[in-house]
Amino acid sequence: MSRTVQCVLLKREAPGLDRPPYPGDLGRRIFENVSREAWGKWLAHQTMLINEYRLTPIEPKARKFLEGEMEKFLFGAGSSAPQGYQPPPKG
């Protein structure tokens, strides 16, 4: 049986993650308050940020930026797309 969480992003109860997806206190907070679905939304947003800003996630500066955006996306006012970003056409 999968565990459920009251997801802070979706504002409803939903299946939770199987394990903390990130180290430390932030990872524990995500594990306890973010659903699998919301985590998937973050991963898609993170991929867009990496591609649009041409980030190298192994670089400490990029990791710090992504961690800040992750916290804003999941727990804050949200993380914005880069100015002028056009999502790819659906289809």
pLDDT, tens digit (0-9, with 9 covering 90-100), for 34-48: 999 999 999 999 999
Q: Where are the alpha helices (DSSP H) in the chain?
A: 24-33, 36-53, 60-75
Model confidence over 51-70: pLDDT tens digits?
A: 999 999 999 999 999 999 99
CATH number of the domain to which 21 belongs: 1.10.3880.10
Q: How many domains does the chain divide into? A: 1
Q: Does residue 5 contact residue 19 with C-beta atoms inside 8 Å?
A: no
Instruction: Kindly give, in sequence order, each residue whose CB lies less than 8 Å from that of residue 33, ignoring residues fewer than 6 positions away.
Output: 5, 6, 7, 8, 74, 75
φ, ψ for residue 13 (rounded to 5)? -75, 135
Please report whether residue 25 resides in a domain.
yes
Please report whether residue 42 resides in a domain.
yes
- Token pair recorded at residue 79: 């993380």
Give me the mean pLDDT over the 82-91 stretch: 81
Using the predicted structure, report yes or no on whether residue 1 has a pLDDT greater than 80.
no
